[in-house]
Structure 1
């Protein structure tokens, strides 16, 4: 993949996608935290503590190579993707909570992602090879996430009609970009792709299934209603693999570190859809429970 594309086009494209996410947010979305503090805190605990710990254990138990271990930890540290909102809509999740979680996760990730990555690099890269996240790189990650979201929110506030025109093209662009970045990452490593699937395929499948099941059942066990638990499941289960791949290819300049996210993105939409259908078939309907709880 051409270095100019990696250093300029990927962050630019991701910024455009984050502007699209910002177009769907208003300050009221952040205020919803006060209405659903328990659900938000449980979801954040699952994502930042449980899943990062599970990713670490998967790396250790399956004895992944150092670069792929760092890649899986990068994936675990990445926030939920905006696609999670679509899955919540399709499978009767609490979309308002989902948008709130996406917004909060995007902010928190600017701080937690570099911390988790520094730990991963120091722990797994024990062969003398070092990839450091300097402060300037941390600012770069922050800039990729936060600033475009704020721009999108400002556009929505001051130009609502323009926002309506932008929404659909930006969603299409996001899907096309995800497909292209997966193809690009795979093409660069095409001679080793089967080896990567062998090495990291099982790890990403385990991580994907753990993300979805923990995201749903932990909130349910702690008294969160079905609709909110579904929102948590998709937010936690659908990681922002685009962000993970972009950071791996730009900040870390390693297509190998990008591989777990690329392989994960192949599995996650399929498993998320199957998980949603399973929830619809085998669990109570959210509308019934929400109606009962509102009275």
Structure 2
């Protein structure tokens, strides 16, 4: 059996472990904490579920992204915040507790929103049969690989908090390695297609990332939220769980080309998020001083 043949299974197992690691960092208190900042939570959810998919659609139309890549980009837009959002928020003065809480609620919401947005994108951009819509069984597969490991991780965290603390750093490293590995695999698999079509997909991926970060930050400030919350929301909606998008593309929809936007994003977002933090957030801090 070739490596490519077993790749979807490996990705499923790896993503389940990543979700388990996320669960180890969550508790019921993270959900209760959301009640302390209702305005911030409402804004973040509206941006994540409604605004970002609309922005993504606008970029697809404006930049004339090819249909199969358009579906892949919408998959990315429908994915919740990634684990890396917590790291960037910590580095640049965000409210990390809010990031963790938002990641928890967004991950649960994505179980419903991701299949809906994915099927809408397939019917809108690729209704030629090139991409098969998510059927009920496939939706249940996404639920299983996302929700169940997170719940198991939360149960372990509640019963063995010491174990969760010891595993926090290893699981973060593992998550980063999984993300990098499958991004590189997806890029290598479709390298020739990527080279020939990068001009039509690369700008859209980077633009989506930049607009997400800026919208999260400045709309939060405009809504009257303090800087730490604005920073947390910015990274939460600006750094998506591209591993989940790649999983849906490869394992659920069985289409490597759909994974390319998320693969490119998983590399480029480290650059854009770092530059955003340095140029925008630190400049805001200098201005305040």
Same fold (TM over 0.5): yes
Identify if the C-alpha distance between structure 1 residues 285 and 227 changes in structure 2 by more than 3 Å, giving closer, same or farther: farther
Identify if the C-alpha distance between structure 1 residues 147 and 201 changes in structure 2 by more than 3 Å, giving closer, same or farther: same
After the TM superposition, list the runs of 4 or more consecutive aligned residues in structure 1 that deviate by more than 6 angstroms.
Answer: none
Q: How does 1:1-295 map to 2 (within 5 A)?
A: 2-6=4-8, 8-284=9-285
In the superposition, the TM-score normalised over structure 2's length comes to 0.95
Distance 2:77 2:69 in 1: 12
Aligned length: 287
Shift of 1:127: 2.7
Distance 2:25 2:274 in 1: 23
SS at match of 1:76: helix
8 Å contact 1:84–1:238 — kept in the other structure?
yes
8 Å contact 1:39–1:219 — kept in the other structure?
yes
Shift of 1:172: 1.5
Alignment gaps of 5+ in structure 2: none
Distance 1:267 1:282 in 2: 22
Alignment gaps of 5+ in structure 1: 290-295
8 Å contact 1:226–1:285 — kept in the other structure?
no
8 Å contact 1:226–1:284 — kept in the other structure?
no
Shift of 1:128: 4.0
Identify if the C-alpha distance between structure 1 residues 235 and 67 changes in structure 2 by more than 3 Å, giving closer, same or farther: same
8 Å contact 2:131–2:255 — kept in the other structure?
no
Deviations 1:220-267 (A, max 9, x none): 111111100000000011011111011100111011000111111121
Distance 1:156 1:224 in 2: 31
Distance 1:88 1:240 in 2: 15
Distance 2:231 2:144 in 1: 30
In the superposition, the TM-score normalised over structure 1's length comes to 0.93
Shift of 1:123: 0.7
Deviations 1:86-129 (A, max 9, x none): 11111000111111110000000000000001110111113343
Shift of 1:285: 7.3
Deviations 1:12-71 (A, max 9, x none): 100101111111111000001110110011011111111100111111111111110100
